[in-house]
Amino acid sequence: MKDVEDVFKDKIQYAQYSSYYLGYNEVKGNDDIEKYVLNMIPNTNGTKINIVGHSLGGWNGAHLSEILTIKGYIVLCNCFNSNI
């Protein structure tokens, strides 16, 4: 059975993208967001950002997507909680 990363790679094999795993400790404040998130994004014009989070990571991803949207980035957030 394919895992999520393999399925993702199959679907976007012809697309140009960068993928980064960031845990809670990498995005826990403005300084971390600047260092680990904003410095990795080339520009606000046309760069689409996909954030995936589950459970507490879903809440954190939703919050990060709000911050990035306010800063002018295009953000798609797939954040969910399996208990709902």
Q: What is the pLDDT of residues 34-64, one digit of tens each?
A: 998 888 887 777 778 888 888 887 888 888 9
| All structural domains of the chain with their residue ranges | 18-80
Task: Tell me the C-alpha distance between 68 and 33, whole Å.
Answer: 9
Task: Tell me the C-alpha distance between 54 and 32, whole Å.
Answer: 20
pTM: 0.70
Q: What is the pLDDT of residue 15?
A: 64
Q: 53-79 b/e with 16+ CB inside 10 Å = b?
A: beeebbebbbebbeebeeeebebebeb
- Better-predicted residue by pLDDT, 5 or 59: 59
Q: What is the pLDDT of residue 31?
A: 92
Dihedral sign from CA coordinates of 16, 75, 20, 44 = positive
Task: Read off the pLDDT band of 83 (50, 70, 90).
Answer: low
